[in-house]
């Protein structure tokens, strides 16, 4: 396999945003479960090669597993998502995230196949897709990609200055309608006092 072809506007005038083109390998594996004998998982992300072509293809099929190659996913870096890349690159294991869905009807094979939809390096993107109840899996990013991502973060990410949060005791009290509430120490009811 070749290295990842990492493109940056500084090195390639035709490139508007830094990007890398990858291929996704999905694996259908046999599991010990009488109700669901197979499951799909993200197997790997590899550098895209021209020889892969443009269409998904079956790489391997036997009684234990099936592997499919899905080429041509462009992973672009956007300056306005520098925080999402920062959160990824500062984790113990930076990674690629892949959103994938099952085919509704079998188009690539006799049975429906898991098809990647999006590949990202943004922690925020992955979180949004997870919040939308999508299937999102991750694989570690290779050191070459991590260094490239770190360089982008160094150029575009600005740490926000943490503002001191005002203590809760200084917040005004509001009633259930949002109006300022009055607090009194006077006794309205009750007796028991000597008159």
Is residue 37 within 8 A of residue 30, CB to CB? The reply is yes
Query: In the chain, where are the structural domains located?
Result: 6-156
Q: What is the pLDDT of residues 87-101, one digit of tens each?
A: 999 999 999 999 999
Mean pLDDT in residue range 22-43: 90
pTM assigned to the model: 0.74
Phi-psi region of 192 (alpha: psi -120 to 50; beta: other; left: phi over 0): left
Residue 189 has pLDDT above 50, yes or no: yes
Is residue 46 within 8 A of residue 23, CB to CB? The reply is yes
Summary mean pLDDT of the chain: 85
Classify residue 55 by burial, with Cβ atoms within 10 Å: 0-12, 13-18, 19+.
exposed
Q: What is the pLDDT of residues 62-87, one digit of tens each?
A: 988 999 999 999 999 999 999 999 99
The larger pLDDT score, comparing residue 107 to residue 192, is at 107
Residue 161 has pLDDT above 60, yes or no: yes
Q: How far is Cα 11 from Cα 33, in angstroms, rounded to an integer? A: 51
């Amino acid at each position: 396999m070749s290295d990842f072809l990492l493109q940056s506007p500084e090195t390639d005038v035709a490139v508007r945003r830094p990007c890398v083109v990858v291929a996704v390998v999905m694996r259908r594996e046999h599991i010990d479960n009488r109700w669901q004998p197979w499951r799909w998982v993200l197997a790997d992300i590899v550098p895209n090669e021209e020889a892969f072509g443009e269409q998904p293809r079956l790489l391997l099929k036997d009684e234990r597993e099936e592997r499919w190659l899905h080429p041509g996913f462009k992973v672009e870096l956007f300056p306005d998502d520098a925080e999402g890349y920062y959160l990824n690159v500062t984790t113990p294991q930076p990674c690629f995230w892949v959103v994938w869905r099952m085919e509704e009807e079998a188009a690539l094979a006799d049975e429906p196949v898991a098809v990647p939809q999006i590949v990202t390096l943004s922690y925020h993107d992955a979180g949004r897709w997870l919040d939308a109840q999508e299937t999102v899996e991750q694989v570690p990013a290779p050191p070459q990609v991590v260094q490239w991502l770190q360089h982008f973060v160094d150029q575009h990410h600005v740490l926000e200055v943490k503002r001191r949060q005002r203590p809760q005791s200084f917040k005004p009290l509001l009633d259930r309608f949002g109006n300022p509430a009055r607090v009194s120490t006077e006794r309205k009811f009750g007796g028991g006092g000597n008159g």
